[in-house]
Amino acid sequence: MENEDLTPVLESDQRAGIGVIGCADIAVRRALPAIAASPFRLAAVASRSRHKAEQVAAAAGCAAVEGYERLLELPGVDAVYVPLPNSEHALWARRALEAGKHVLIEKPAVPSEETAQKLVALAEERGLAVMENFAFLRHPQHERARALLADGAIGELRSYSGSFGIPPTDPRGIKYQAELGGGALWEVGCYPVRAAQEYLGPSARVVGAGLTFDAGLGVDVSGAALLCDDGGVTAHCSFGLSHGYRSTYDLWGSEGRLVLEWAFTPSHSARPVLRLEQKDRQTRILAPAADQFLGVFTAFHDAVRDPAARAVHHHELVRQAGLMARIRAHALGGETR
């Protein structure tokens, strides 16, 4: 396979080509179908296993590549999506940028603000985009929530409360492996934390955090964080890997409350409900169905094509990495500011 010439396949279509580094479940189930519907051309899928690469590529209708480095060598690949275990994100994002590829990193992108800053600096030096995949932000229900808030539907925002929890699964899974960057904070806590930043100001800081560890698994299985900005808006983020499923956030204002009942992981055919509470009246707003993964690949394509669209993604990557690192440090008794 190393000697296979894929150039004719990759150059037959002049759209921006994207390659996928790894065959994770999230890539197969959600990303590959979304890429097929996006402005990108799905060029290749890489795996360390030839058989796995060929199996996934055959179903997706693209080239199969054995080895991640080989994919980065392909001239027809302009960008890559990295859905590897969390511990591998920084390494392969850096290698992809060094190879001249734009990069979309599956969440959580990297574990520290310093690492995020280095990736952004490298991307900007090479004239490339690097972006973290929080696909939920591309669902129109969040745009609707921001519009209602801006229109004064709940008055002035006082607080945000977000929760994301999932039931326990096979303890041998990646999310329970500390050496692979597993644990509740990284796996599910990143969602309500990222959503909170849509509503708190840039001065958002950690004022409290706690994590509960499972001694047998060696990772945190639940936790919470309290954030606050200089305007006095607070955010309570709770999360866990040993819970009944919950995927929600609410905005509490001076004159009402807005609840997103299925905030983070709606299926592409679902129509999530926003519940608006105003004094003695409650209004249920049905959001349109949308493939949020298609939304994120469309946004990433825009950043690939338009250098002016990259700065916001670079800023968000660094901000999220820094806040997550401070939450963990605070919970473990370290840095609190």
Which tens digits make up the pLDDT trace of 316-329? 999 999 999 999 99
pLDDT band at 12 (very low <50, low <70, confident <90, very high): low
Please say if the pLDDT value at position 73 is more than 50: yes
d(CA 45, CA 336): 41
Give CA separation, 7 vs 26, 74, 101, 127, 260, in Å.
27, 7, 16, 24, 46
Q: Can you tell me which residue has the tokens 């709770």?
A: 238
pLDDT computed for residue 1 by the predictor: 42
Give CA separation, 3 vs 62, 65, 66, 104, in Å.
17, 11, 11, 27
Domains of the chain: 7-135 (3.40.50.720), 140-289 (3.30.360.10)
Encoded tokens for 33:
């179908």
| Ramachandran region, residue 63 (left: φ > 0; alpha: ψ -120 to 50; beta: rest) | beta
Look up the pTM and report it: 0.94
pLDDT computed for residue 6 by the predictor: 53
List, in sequence order, every residue forming a beta bridge with 19; answer none if it has no partner.
Answer: 44, 80
How confident is the model over 212-224, as a mean pLDDT? 96
Higher pLDDT, 227 or 336: 227
Specify whether the CB–CB gap between 137 and 190 falls below 8 A. Answer: no
Q: Quick one: 333 exposed, middle or buried, by C-beta within 10 A (0-12, 13-18, 19+)?
A: exposed
Please say if the pLDDT value at position 7 is more than 70: no
pLDDT computed for residue 147 by the predictor: 98
Q: Can you tell me which residue has the tokens 């094509």?
A: 305
Q: Can you tell me which residue has the tokens 């004159």?
A: 255
pLDDT band at 4 (very low <50, low <70, confident <90, very high): low
How confident is the model over 267-273, as a mean pLDDT? 95
Please say if the pLDDT value at position 5 is more than 60: no
Task: List the catalytic residues.
Answer: 107
d(CA 209, CA 201): 19
Amino acid symbol at 80: V
